[in-house]
Amino acid sequence: MEMSRLIEPRTLRGFRDYLPALMIPREHMLEKCRQVYRSYGYAPIDTPALEYLEILKGKGGEESDKLIYSFRDHGDREVALRFDLTVPFARFAAQHIGKLGTPFKRYHMGPVWRGENTGHGRYREFWQCDFDTIGTESNASDIEVVLVINDLMTALGFERIEIHLNNRLVLNGLLEEMGLAGQTAAVLRALDKLCKVGKDAVAAEMAEKAGVSRGQAERVLALAEMQGGNREILDHLRREFGTNPRAAEGINRLTELLDVATSVGIGEERIRLDLSIARGLDYYTGTIYETFLLDKPDIGSVCSGGRYDNLAGVYTKQRLPGVGASLGLDRLLAAMEEMNLVPSVATPAPVVIVQFSPEYLGEYQKMGRALRAEGIRVEVYPEAKKIGQQLQYAEKRGFNVALIAGADEFAQGMWKLKNLARREETAVPAAEVPAAVRRVLGMG
Amino acid sequence: MEMSRLIEPRTLRGFRDYLPALMIPREHMLEKCRQVYRSYGYAPIDTPALEYLEILKGKGGEESDKLIYSFRDHGDREVALRFDLTVPFARFAAQHIGKLGTPFKRYHMGPVWRGENTGHGRYREFWQCDFDTIGTESNASDIEVVLVINDLMTALGFERIEIHLNNRLVLNGLLEEMGLAGQTAAVLRALDKLCKVGKDAVAAEMAEKAGVSRGQAERVLALAEMQGGNREILDHLRREFGTNPRAAEGINRLTELLDVATSVGIGEERIRLDLSIARGLDYYTGTIYETFLLDKPDIGSVCSGGRYDNLAGVYTKQRLPGVGASLGLDRLLAAMEEMNLVPSVATPAPVVIVQFSPEYLGEYQKMGRALRAEGIRVEVYPEAKKIGQQLQYAEKRGFNVALIAGADEFAQGMWKLKNLARREETAVPAAEVPAAVRRVLGMG
């Protein structure tokens, strides 16, 4: 083949390959998420990557629509790659809820595609891990979302986290009191920028977009910026807004949520009422969740969600209220890379069997099988290269143990077991190799 | 919302949703595959769904190219959805092999997209699960592929299988002897149709496309149709073709493969030399694998692959020989559906805690937490509906156990444990509930 005809191997901008050292922790994280979701009875579903454009478009606003990858397929249908897992879930629910019945709890983990600006480490393909309960307005489901987020973060190895909670009903109650009930969306959109632009700019936007007076804006901002312990904030809210039935409902839901979280033993320091979080999305109507890593707050919320009144109104007349959240898996993984929390291990197997000579392949694979039967993952080196070369390979990839046997060892019924971290070598009778390896690997 | 404005919820033709009853076994299968691949030291990788069209096109022939979903993205780049996991792996290997080093063993599981005709239950989106070892010509890697396929099928619950093996070197040797070395590809393409069109049509195609005489065709067909036990076939091959160095190499590799498979204890009935399998793909050059379910042979091979001389020649000058196979996960799952092997369980959790009254939510979630800590998955029903309704829900979804407690039970420190299959109810002290549930679930 002439060199000039080589195609340059490269990925599209905003897309990335996952090499083993990064894919191993990613699979580990996905598995942890699955375990946590399942442990609460959320059932897995999957939907196609490609949908009719009509199904996906117009659900997340104009800005989102611009980012959708869409095209005409072989049958000249207008199709698009899914932009998130929420819109496909709405379509899915409308289509299948008669068969599934309610309440319905699902999780869905998969890639989504957005033609984003690739600045600030943004990717155009990334995984989301969503979980939702639909078909019920019960606060039990709102409460459970916090328990799930707590367990998720623990399972993923993040102990220093803070789950921020709000309930939109409180603000809605206040706006209702002030005669601004119709302006909720505009007020929320302004409020969502509080952190970035400050109070004055928010008040100005509320005045311009929603006709909110200076005095009204101050009350809204005072609510959003309320500081203090969770119980303190609840007491304060009850005193200030408790007479409005809508606000009272929100306050009661937050109170019940905190009570249950405390009673099941979630540390108080992990949960924080934060009346400033609004999540610009219009469809949230009740509880709101955001989750921050205390050691990496700048990456923003890593698990967010909320309660919505109706999931699938564009596809069905059946009202489907629900609550859920979405874990930004790849964002979390990128954060872990930056925090040097990703170990540089490029093998899923901790044990390598060195190949002394191909004539013993049967013996090597027999030992491999014996180890696998005991739950120990093991690679048999494919070539009878120099032992030094094979050990070098093993160290570079991050193997923990090398097993070595040639003519002498087989004659004696022994194996050499090399602990690669400690550079210690011991001789072990063949039958005792699995137990010896388990000890070195700390498998008890 | 007016009814006329509803969008009909539907998926594209050839695409499907996975509801929990089907997604639960699918996730189970993916997990089993992962476990087996890892147990041999294959490392996970991932590549983008979208690639430059230039990277994907022209790698699988014209017919394949027609099936590729391609379009122009936001930056007017010609892009395409991956058609298989092999071409992206070739690109990946060329790009990263310097960093990864050889030998390199990887598995890759993910969806691929083909604008196929949707007849015969074919889907346009389906998962492949590939595993390969590249950077070595050692037969140890060829042998390992058979061990992996054997373990995969066992792990997936298929005991009645037959792995068919061939080695192209044998046929290549014969063609060389007959002065037809340059016609290998054409001969293989003809031979690949033997099952469907019969001997005469194959001979005719070989004559037309490769200038193979009637006598030559008979020798080729005699080889392809060779019947008998594995050892018998090997003896016969050695006698007939053993003097040709190329054929001898193929025969030796097959012999060594069978020897190791026997020595590690794979049943002889699971492996069958089958000189008729050719796998129309030009790039295979050595060992060939196909895998059949004895109870469902009509779906064709469920796990196929082979050895190739050079994986990534279009992207790099570095020669990367390798060997591997691909499991057709969704095809296998569809077969299991047809065979009624998919249980109708729509919950990943076997236990449901009935909600008697919301005031006990803290207690319910505390019990949920205690069970989860012992590895028992459990759902707390979100609403305090009538108990009968909740139990009906539990039975419909396939829960095994319901736990019930209200004022009386909490006063006595007891829970009612209902075995839903046997319709038996017992009273259990709160502290003993996890152990009692484990017993009912047979968790030992």
Question: Which residue of B125, B263, B368 is in closest CB contact with A366?
Answer: B263
Alpha-carbon gap, residue B207 to B223, rounded angstroms: 17
Is a pLDDT exceeding 90 seen at residue A183? no
Contact: B41, A7; criterion CB under 8 Å: no
Distance from CA of B194 to the nearest CA of A (A): 32
Q: How would you classify the pairing of strands A161-167 and A125-134?
A: unpaired
Confidence label for B5 from pLDDT (cuts 50, 70 and 90): confident
Residue A125: other Cβ atoms inside 10 A: 21
Question: Which pLDDT score, from 0 to 100, does residue A280 have?
Answer: 63
Contact: B140, A361; criterion CB under 8 Å: yes
Alpha-carbon gap, residue A98 to A312, rounded angstroms: 13
The stretch B103-126 carries a mean pLDDT of 91
Confidence label for A64 from pLDDT (cuts 50, 70 and 90): confident
Alpha-carbon gap, residue A214 to A223, rounded angstroms: 14
Question: Which pLDDT score, from 0 to 100, does residue B3 have?
Answer: 45
| Disruptive mutation site among B76, B138, B397, B403 for chain A (greatest number of A CBs within 10 Å) | B138
Contact: B39, A352; criterion CB under 8 Å: no
Question: Which pLDDT score, from 0 to 100, does residue B268 have?
Answer: 87
Q: What is the largest CA-CA distance in chain A?
A: 92
Is a pLDDT exceeding 80 seen at residue B117? yes
| Disruptive mutation site among B2, B3, B4, B19 for chain A (greatest number of A CBs within 10 Å) | B19
Alpha-carbon gap, residue A92 to B378, rounded angstroms: 24
Q: For the sheet with A322-328, list strands across it.
A: A43-44, A104-113, A125-134, A322-328, A303-308, A284-293, A161-167, A271-273
Alpha-carbon gap, residue B130 to B82, rounded angstroms: 14
Contact: B20, A44; criterion CB under 8 Å: yes
| Spatial CB neighbours of A305, under 8 Å, sequence gap ≥ 6 | A132, A145, A288, A289, A323, A324, A325, A326
Phi/psi for A253 (5° steps) reads: -65, -45
The stretch B240-258 carries a mean pLDDT of 96
Q: Which residues of A touch B378 (CB under 8 A)?
A: 39-41
Chain A nearest-CA residue for B147: A365
Contact: A94, B9; criterion CB under 8 Å: yes
The CA-atom distances, in angstroms, between B132 and each of B42, B45, B89, B291, B398 are 8, 11, 10, 16, 39
Residue B389: other Cβ atoms inside 10 A: 12
Confidence label for B39 from pLDDT (cuts 50, 70 and 90): very high
Contact: A20, B106; criterion CB under 8 Å: yes
The stretch A17-25 carries a mean pLDDT of 96
Distance from CA of B73 to the nearest CA of A (A): 7
Q: pTM of whole model > 0.90?
A: yes
A18-22, A204-208, A327-331, B274-278: segment of lowest average pLDDT: B274-278
The stretch B320-347 carries a mean pLDDT of 90
Query: What's the mean per-residue pLDDT of chain B?
Result: 93
Cβ atoms of residues A277 and A290 within 8 Å = yes
Question: Which pLDDT score, from 0 to 100, does residue B1 have?
Answer: 42
Distance from CA of B293 to the nearest CA of A (A): 23
Contact: B46, A23; criterion CB under 8 Å: yes
Contact: B95, A347; criterion CB under 8 Å: no
A199-208, A225-234, B237-246, B331-340: segment of lowest average pLDDT: B331-340
The CA-atom distances, in angstroms, between B103 and each of A18, A380, A393, A401 are 18, 11, 9, 18
Q: Which residues of B touch A372 (CB under 8 A)?
A: 39-40, 151
pLDDT tens digit string along B41-68?
999 999 999 999 999 998 777 888 999 9
Distance from CA of A48 to the nearest CA of B (A): 6
Contact: B17, A95; criterion CB under 8 Å: yes
Question: Which pLDDT score, from 0 to 100, does residue B433 have?
Answer: 98
**Percent of chain A residues past pLDDT 90, beyond the cut:** 83
Q: Which residues of A touch B103 (CB under 8 A)?
A: 381-383
Contact: B50, A125; criterion CB under 8 Å: yes
Confidence label for A3 from pLDDT (cuts 50, 70 and 90): very low
pLDDT tens digit string along B147-193?
999 999 999 999 999 999 999 999 999 999 999 988 888 888 888 88
Question: Which residue of B105, B313, B348 is in closest CB contact with A44?
Answer: B348
CA-nearest of B28, B30, B8, B21 to B328 is B30
pLDDT tens digit string along A275-332?
988 766 667 899 999 999 999 998 899 999 999 999 999 999 999 999 999 999 988 9
Question: Which pLDDT score, from 0 to 100, does residue A60 have?
Answer: 72
| Owner of token pair 């037969």 | B139
Question: Which pLDDT score, from 0 to 100, does residue A281 have?
Answer: 64
pLDDT tens digit string along B421-441?
999 999 999 999 999 999 999
Confidence label for A344 from pLDDT (cuts 50, 70 and 90): confident
A27-31, B4-8, B208-212, B410-414: segment of lowest average pLDDT: B4-8
A141 three-state secondary structure: helix
Contact: B44, A24; criterion CB under 8 Å: yes
Chain A nearest-CA residue for B5: A314
The stretch B8-21 carries a mean pLDDT of 96
A111-120, A292-301, B71-80, B199-208: segment of lowest average pLDDT: A111-120
Contact: A143, B365; criterion CB under 8 Å: yes
Chain B nearest-CA residue for A380: B40
